[in-house]
Structure 1
Amino acid sequence: MPVVVNRPVTTHFYLCRHGQSEFNAKGILQGHLESPLTELGKSQARTLATKARKWNIQHIASSHLGRAQQTAEICAQSLAVDHESSAHLAEREFGQWQGQSINNFPEYSHFQQHCYQQLDLPAGNEQGYGETTIAVRQRMHNALHSLARSRQHIIPRDHSDKTILIVSHGDALACLMSLFTAPLLVNNTHGFKLTFKQNTLHWGGFID
């Protein structure tokens, strides 16, 4: 049973990329397009759930896109916790680039090299379709703040902190990462940890 307390609660976030999707396997830029998990992706999600048992996960939040929801649902069933989805945790919207193979795609390669420094550089094409890095990381940042504050005065009796698993996407996670350290695209079901304390997110390092 939960207990009501008056002091602030520290929230630990484990942020992970979804399992391998069919588009991942084919080297296709997904963005907001739908692509289900491969059998390998489902296996990766089960492995993530096993690993997450030692993190004392109390809740799971994911992107609303299918590949992230599939990964989160596998974890939620294994861990016996609730799962919610949110568009604020979705992948970057890549405009007209979505659905294209990233092989021999110089526009996307150039964008990847510069988008975390030129935060207002639009994805998709030169007319500005698609999201900027600053837009993606702001919605991700806001989503975590909202989750940390949600029912913040209620904690389990046997645990002083909240611990939430976030299932999102490679580029979206890199955008958020750029607030704390040099961003990189993490592998499927890998990620990093953030801690929300005193109304601020703090970098907690990479997780395998």
Structure 2
Amino acid sequence: MADTDFTVIRHGQTAENLAGLLQGHTETVLDRLGLLQAQCAAERLRGEKFDHIFSSDLQRAMQTARIIAEAVGGEVIPLPALREWHLGKLENRLNTELWEKYPEVMNAFRYEEGELLIPGGESRFEFLKRVADCIDSLAAQYEGRRILLVTHAGALRAIFRRIVGPVVNDALLPQVSNAAYSRFCRRGDRWQLCCWNDVSHLKNIEVRESVTF
């Protein structure tokens, strides 16, 4: 069996990232720094060859993916399964406001490992299964290929859990920065993490650490 190689980029910064809003499935776009971050990610990947480019179909991810695709070549294929966690009534609201109004929900969201039902959105298990099924399916369908994914912080953490398993009960860990580079591969029936949250290509500009989804 040939290795299936995945390179993953988180979308660039949005104004909502900066403000501390939970975005989820809410449509937002890259701000000026986010566009620059996407361009830096594109320059890092320039010259690399990918068989397929898949992106969450949310605009902030698609913007990032299209900028990268201009540098590496290829068509961006929208893939809804790579979307962020659908957070229902929690979306488009300040993280600080949500902690004040819904402390029990937010504590379970942030720190607990069990099932969590989000009114109007996806449960924790639904979200984790969606992302895990997505990368499993891509690995099976495109065995031996090089694949580029552009997605979101929550989805990246779900990928990490699929590959490594849960390592800490904190929804904001491991760290995922805007426009960060990660890489993993499928070898036979096993996943292997090769690189996580590398931001060396952003060393000359601001790097925003993720505090929201």
Residue identity opposite 2:116 in structure 1:
L
Task: Give the number of the structure whose residues are more often helix, by fraction.
Answer: 2
Over 3 Å counting, the alpha-carbon distance change for 1:132 and 1:15 in structure 2 is: farther
| Contact 1:133/1:175 (8 A) holds in 2 | no
Shift of 1:200: 3.5
Shift of 1:24: 1.2
Q: Which moved more, 1:100-109 or 1:62-71?
A: 100-109
Task: Give the number of the structure whose residues are more often strand, by fraction.
Answer: 1
> Once the two structures are superposed, what CA deviation does each residue of 1:103-152 show, in whole Å capped at 9, x if it has no partner?
2431464144324x22x1123xxxx4322332222211222222223354
Aligned identity (percent) is 27
Shift of 1:33: 0.5
Match of 2:147 among 146, 164, 173: 164
Q: Which residue of 1 aligns with 2:93?
A: 100
Q: Who wins on radius of gyration, i.e. which is larger?
A: 1
| Contact 1:28/1:102 (8 A) holds in 2 | yes
Over 3 Å counting, the alpha-carbon distance change for 1:78 and 1:53 in structure 2 is: closer
1:1-208 to structure 2, matched below 5 A, reads 8-53=1-46, 55-106=48-99, 107=102, 109-115=106-112, 117-118=113-114, 120-123=115-118, 128-152=119-143, 161-179=144-162, 180-181=164-165, 182=167, 183-208=173-198
Q: May I ask how many residue pairs the two structures share in their alignment? A: 187
TM-score, structure 2 normalization: 0.78
Q: Which residue of 2 aligns with 1:158?
A: none
The residue matched to 1:193 in structure 2 has which SS? strand
Q: Distance in 2 between matches of 1:90 and 1:74?
A: 18
Over 3 Å counting, the alpha-carbon distance change for 1:28 and 1:48 in structure 2 is: same
TM-score, structure 1 normalization: 0.80
